[in-house]
Chains A and B, each alone.
Chain A
Amino acid sequence: MKYYENCRLLSQREIFPGIFDMTLETEHIAENARPGQFIMLYCNDGRKILPRPISICGADPDTGHLRLVYRVTGKGTGTEEFSRTPEGTVLRAEGPLGNGFDTDRSEKENIMIVGGGVGIPPMLFTAGSLRSGKTIVLGFRSGTFLADEFEKYGRVYISTEDGSAGTKGNVLDVIKTLEDRPDRIYACGPAPMLRALSSWAEENGIPCYISLEERMACGIGACLACVCRSAGTDPHTNVKNKRVCSDGPVFLSTEVLL
């Protein structure tokens, strides 16, 4: 079930330069949200007509609180408007949207959680919802955010491009040094990271589930703006592409062509 509702902005702070941590009070969205899903958040500036897809970093079904950690994408953008929105303001949101990660996995399994940059927030919600053993690998450009919150869910490995924290390099430089093979991989991050990770996982025969991002208009599968290329003919579109918003955003890496 999807909801379109007015949400009150309860709190917001900048946790890293350009990265904001927002909590919204929702009526139904938080209660129904699953890890890997996203919401469409609407601007109050009427000139910005399209809602912005933002991944869900956390959801409390009891309080209805929904946590979003997002990046301001530039001057004059919708995300900049969100970052300047004062507490108490009402924002419209639609969600929860998309399929999400399968978190109903056995505790005997070991799942590798991989997040890159602004792809990290949905992986926190995912890590917190899995009973399975977890190995967590987080990649940043320079400096870290949210990393400490992952520590209660499993062993956390960090890579930074400039070596300012953890291993100097990218997430794959870390993963290649790890001895234990995961049973599956759940990942969200920039396309080059997902591409490299998917090909490593395929070489090693590990199922790899990746969360994709694309420009969206409707967020519910109607407008066909946010398609990705698929390996086979998709049963809904009847062509070789899938809708990121409604068939995804999470796909088995072998289903899609990055």
Chain B
Amino acid sequence: MIRTEVSIAGVSLKNPVITASGTFGSGAEFSEFYSLDELGGVVTKGVANVPWPGNPVPRITETSSGMLNAIGLQNPGIDVFIDRDIPFLKKYDTKIIVNVCGRTEEDYCEVVRRLKDQDMDMLEINVSCPNVKEGGIAFGQDPRALQHITERVKKEASLPVIMKLSPNVTDIAEMARAAEAGGADAVSLINTLTGMKIDIYRRTFALANRTGGLSGPAIKPVAVRMVYQASHAVKIPVIGMGGITCAEDAIEFMMAGASAVAVGTANFMNPYAAPEIVRGICEFMESQGIRDINEIIGAAG
């Protein structure tokens, strides 16, 4: 019998596979393909205090082994989210991790306060979205701003707080330490890398927002390196993500130091990607004689 359970800040996930925010909505669309019970957790699309309309289209474009997106954190606002999405997810035996976005520190805090009495498991604070002008990444590229917003959110929160870090920084270890110093219970990384694509026939930008966030297999080596550096810089757990498309990728992140992994862009490459990765991890453990998944966390050294 193999053990796939991992623990993040006292929350036990039946397996280390969760979804990456923004690629999975609140799970309803993917629940037409498989039961969300199969996942360790669902991380919902970022939600703000009020509805956000997002950016103009085109919002996505493909790049070699990757994609750029500039959705702009379109979301229905916290009221609709609480009324509709949390009750939907409660039907499943999986952990609910709500991703929170905002323009100001107070916006984030308002959402966190609204979620105080909700039946859910963790908060993920998105301070790393490259596609909105205000808020988002502004908090995620300056260690002092990151520590400050982490402290404020932690004061309001009744659940464990995961700070989602941006890879668009010089020193990821410093950012992870800032989140830990602010009281974060965990960090997740990486969010997307800022990129650009030009449509050479139209002589203009492929995305209406001009820049977008790069995700997919193209960014995986960068993500593995940053997960390794962050996990060596802090004592809190690290959730790894960035281009995971198969169980072998997920195991690589865990050996680099991740206690759990998130599947994002791969959901677009195959709607069954996340549960297939769960099964693939079990097969790998059986074939390698690994009895407890926790044995491989940070196994690379």
Contacts and interface: CB of A to CB of B under 8 A. Distances in A.
A42 B67 CA distance: 15
B163 to A, nearest CB: 23
Given A218-B29, A222-B23, A238-B80, 6 more contacts: A49-B216, A51-B268, A223-B60, A224-B54, A225-B60, A239-B74
Nearest to B52: A239
A217 B67 contact: yes
B25 interface: yes
Interface in B54-109: 54, 57-62, 64-67, 69, 71, 74, 76-77, 80
Given A46-B65, A49-B216, A50-B67, A223 B23 contact: yes
Interface residues of A, number: 35
Contacts, number: 107
A226 B80 CA distance: 21
A215 interface: yes
B268 A223 contact: yes
Contact of B25 (A48, A92, A222): A222
A241 interface: yes
Interface residues of B, number: 39
12 contacts: A42-B269, A49-B66, A49-B269, A50-B67, A50-B269, A214-B58, A215-B59, A220-B271, A223-B23, A223-B60, A223-B268, A239-B76
A215 B61 contact: yes
Contacts of B54: 224, 227, 239, 241
Interface string A230-258: 00000011111100001000000000000
B217 A225 contact: no
Contacts of A237: 51, 74, 76
A220 B29 contact: yes
B271 A224 contact: no
Interface string B5-37: 000000000000000001111000110110000
B57 A4 contact: no
Interface of A: 1-2, 4, 42, 46-51, 74, 78, 92, 94, 214-218, 220-228, 236-241, 246
A20 to B, nearest CB: 20
Given A42-B269, A215-B59, A221 B69 contact: no
Given A51-B268, A94-B271, A221 B51 contact: no
A228 B33 CA distance: 25
Contact of A224 (B32, B62, B71, B268): B71
A178 B81 CA distance: 49
Contacts of B66: 49
A228 B24 CA distance: 20
B267 interface: yes
